[in-house]
Amino acid sequence: MEVRLAKTAGFCFGVRRAVDTVYGQIEKEKGPIYTYGPIVHNEMVVQELEKKGVRVLNSLEELKKLTGGTVIIRAHGVGKEIYDLLERQGVNLVDATCPFVKKIHRIAQKEEANGRRILIIGNAKHPEVEGIRGWCKAPSYVVESPEEAENLRIPAGEKLCIVSQTTFNYNKFEDIVEIISKKGYDIIVLNTICSATEERQTEAREIAADVDAMIVIGGRHSSNTQKLFEICKKECENTYYIQSLDDLDLKTSQSIRCVGITAGASTPNKIIEEVQKHVRIKF
Ligand code: F3S
């Protein structure tokens, strides 16, 4: 049986870097280690880290109570006020913000200094967008849909710098930018979408179109895994959605000669490897 494992399966560069940062700190640090929010949306990873003494802090209130130790900032990044708060409290901050997100923070600061108001195309409730807004001194705008773009009104004379949440859909970004462009405002547009998600989806589509069965690994509630599953199912009727090896019930028959495997952005390598090995050995 041939197995085709997607090169882009699992963690993207930024998430892998953040998880590696936590493991690096465990080796190095003697004092307590915290992450601000779960380092990745995968319970197994978080539980494994908990066993090694890493605690997840979920609220600003919890951060405010700290008097020492190390807080690791995850790939989504946070606003400037968190850096300032931890510095005041004498807490060691280890920054695992994805460099692509950090770049947006720098753009926000620079363009504000150039007299532009920041407009983010993305979801206002997403931690990455909240983090970007936290680097703007003046109130920023967030637009998530073409309807919101149609309804956007900015004061006369205001200049805009438009950026995007890194995981935003490119076509939707283009549509929104087009609507805002037609309003005649003074704007500059910086496409800050990260290609990791799209590359993962493109590769999954290509593999699924070419195999007899396709396995998609990821959490049930992971929206990017659900999307991967939909894409693969369209190309390959015989597509399986599993969280771990335990869920795999691959019905083999003579006709299955090639199996494809991909995984959502928060699936650790260990699970992908397990599934891959199992399929290779068993079939
Ligand atoms: Fe991942 Fe960073 Fe892109 S966290 S999705 S590589 S912006």
Closest residue CA from atom 4 of ligand 1: 14
Whether 29 and 67 map to the same domain: the answer is: yes
Task: Identify whether residues 155 and 93 lie together within a single domain.
Answer: no
- Among 30, 65, 97, give the residue marking a domain's end: 97
DSSP secondary-structure letter at 139? P
Say if residue 253's pLDDT is above 90: no
Same domain (yes/no): 178, 131: yes
* pLDDT tens digits, one per residue of 186-234: 999 999 999 998 899 999 999 999 999 999 999 887 878 998 999 999 9
Are residues 107 and 89 part of one domain? no
- What pLDDT, in 10s, does the model give residues 100-119? 999 999 999 999 999 999 99
Q: Where is the binding site, in residues?
A: 12, 41, 76, 98, 126, 166, 194, 222-224, 266
CA of 56 relative to ligand 1 center, distance in Å = 21
pLDDT at residue 61 tops 70: yes
Q: So what's the pLDDT on residue 30?
A: 85
Distance, CA of 70 to CA of 48 (rounded, Å): 18
- Identify which of 12, 13, 63, 14 has the alpha carbon closest to the alpha carbon of residue 37: 63
* Packing angle of the helix pair 99-113, 13-28 (nearest 10 deg): 100
Do 219 and 168 share a domain, yes or no? no
Which residue is listed with tokens 């703007």? 136
Domain boundary pick from 97, 125, 147: 97
- Catalytic one of 2, 48, 128, 174: 128
pLDDT for 254 beyond 80 = no
Q: Per-residue pLDDT averaged across 13-37, rounded?
A: 94
Ligand 1 pocket, mutate which of 97, 105, 194 (most atoms under 8 A from CB): 194
Q: Cα(10) to centroid of ligand 1, in Å?
A: 12
User: Mind giving me the DSSP string for 167-220?
Assistant: TS-HHHHHHHHHHHHTTT-EEEE-----SHHHHHHHHHHHHHTT-SEEEEES-T
Is residue 199 annotated as a catalytic residue, yes or no? no
The range of the structural domain enclosing residue 38 comes to: 13-97
Annotated binding site for [4Fe-4S] cluster: 12, 98, 194
Mean per-residue pLDDT over the chain, rounded? 94
Nearest to 33 by CA among 17, 52, 47, 20: 52
Split into its structural domains, the chain has a count of 3
pLDDT at 2 over 80: yes
Residue 251 has pLDDT above 80, yes or no: no
Write down the pLDDT at residue 100.
96
Q: Quick one: which atom of ligand 1 is closest to the CA of 197?
A: 5
